[in-house]
Amino acid sequence: MKRYTPTLLNLEDDSYPELFKRSPKNPIITAKDLPYPAHTIFNPGATSFKDKTLLLARVEDRRGFSHLAKAVSKDGVSKWIFDNSPTLDAEPNIHPEERWGIEDPRITWMTDLEKWAITYTSFSRTGPLISLALTRDFVNFEKQGSIMSPDDKDAALFPRKFNGKYLLIHRPYSDGHKAHIWVSTSTDLHSWGENQILLNARNGGWWDANKIGLSAQPLETPEGWLLLYHGVKHTAAGAIYRLGLALLDLENPKKVLKRSNEWIFGPEEPYEKFGDVGYVVFPCGWILNEATGIVSMYYGGADSCIGLATARLSDLLQYIQKCPEPSEDD
Ligand code: BMA
């Protein structure tokens, strides 16, 4: 067997390079920062809004139910301003599928609608499913209801249509099968079809064997759509959630050009290893600063707090371009 050589090496010391560097202020947000009682805050969607960083984070209360809370900051690191009550809450009376809360939002600016689309997980009687809400201001939300039946989660939209159709990335799951990342199309954001696997969970010992899912919303770059996804490795001690990258064709995002063999980010710090669910890093959003070329990734640490890690887009692209095309045999 050919000796394994890492995709990139640090020139100085032959170690793995760290594409994403953690903020020294991590964890940047904990439940104590909220202006009302909450158990945990984690797994934030992220976007730029009026020249500020806007996060929509999952907040769990002491019933075990989640809602979404907005956090806004000028520098994207500190002085977060929160709403005094849940920004987007479950409304089981109107939307019965939101019975046990709403979780893990991904935010996409829809160019044709001139609205942000928020795809989130609703916790229904039959398990998780995908719901959609639209907003112009992150104050008033137009809930569109469920768009995928259970089990399905980890969804995000592309910001524009391809061949007249919207594209949704999501992660359906049924017992006894692997959890792969799928893509579906729609002309109206409500009826979805042409479902197909986009990225498959690998087999055996891989870090992303058996269960993967989209993490942040797809990021448009001149070289293609950058995809950040999580892989779940089951070990004797439990699951480890780590992150990998893929690159999709710019004009036809159903085509995967590259996929990282290695994880590029994993739980290492105490706030990522210890918490309600240890050994989990779980971003739901990242933001590219066009002026600096820096990508800020906001992630949940151990289902308990929010961390920030940054990378240069040019480093991410250089890395993914060195990665192989995805293989059927993985
Ligand atoms: C996933 C989602 C995430 C969570 C992760 C680890 O299935 O439920 O919200 O962060 O598990 O518990």
**What are 189-202's pLDDT values in tens digits?**
999 999 999 999 99
Model's pTM, two decimal places? 0.97
C-alpha dihedral over 143, 90, 280, 260, to 10 degrees? -10
Distance 210 CA to ligand 1 centre (A): 15
* CATH code of domain 25-321: 2.115.10.20
How is the chain split into domains, by residue range?
A: 25-321
Q: Whose CA is nearest to atom 4 of ligand 1?
A: 303
Local structure of residue 73 (DSSP, 8 states): E
Q: 238-248 and 102-110: which strand pairing? A: unpaired
Q: Whose CA is nearest to atom 1 of ligand 1?
A: 282
Q: Whose CA is nearest to atom 9 of ligand 1?
A: 104
Residue 296: predicted pLDDT: 99
| 276 CA: nearest ligand 1 atom | 12
Q: What is the DSSP string of 273-318?
A: HSSSS-SBEEEEEEEEETTTTEEEEEEEETTTEEEEEEEEHHHHHH
* Residue-level pLDDT, tens digit, the chain, 330 residues: 678 888 877 767 778 879 999 999 999 999 999 999 999 999 999 999 999 999 999 999 999 999 999 999 999 999 999 999 999 999 999 999 999 999 999 999 999 999 999 999 999 999 999 999 999 999 999 999 999 999 999 999 999 999 999 999 999 999 999 999 999 999 999 999 999 999 999 999 999 999 999 999 999 999 999 999 999 999 999 999 999 999 999 999 999 999 999 999 999 999 999 999 999 999 999 999 999 999 999 999 999 999 999 999 999 999 999 999 998 766
Ligand 1 touching residue 208 (CB < 6 A): no
Ligand 1 touching residue 280 (CB < 6 A): yes
Separation of CA 17 from chain center: 22
CA distances from 81 to 70, 134, 205, 257 (A): 8, 22, 43, 39
Q: What contacts 115, CB < 8 A, 6 or more positions away?
A: 134, 135, 136
Distance 154 CA to ligand 1 centre (A): 10
The token duo for 228 is 């950040």
263 neighbors 284 (Cβ within 8 angstroms): no
Residue 10: predicted pLDDT: 74
- Number of neighbours of residue 89 by Cβ within 10 angstroms: 17
Amino acid at site 237: A
Q: How far apart are CA 185 and CA 167, in angstroms?
A: 5
Largest CA distance in the chain: 59
Q: How far apart are CA 263 and CA 212, in angstroms?
A: 12
Q: How far apart are CA 47 and CA 302, in angstroms?
A: 22
Ligand 1 touching residue 272 (CB < 6 A): no
Q: Among 277, 279, 306, which is best to mutate for testing ligand 1, by the most ligand atoms less than 8 A from CB?
A: 277
Residue 36: predicted pLDDT: 98
Residue 330: predicted pLDDT: 66
Q: What is the mean pLDDT of the chain?
A: 96
Ligand 1 touching residue 103 (CB < 6 A): yes
39 neighbors 31 (Cβ within 8 angstroms): yes
Ligand 1 touching residue 207 (CB < 6 A): no
19 neighbors 36 (Cβ within 8 angstroms): no
Ligand 1 touching residue 282 (CB < 6 A): yes
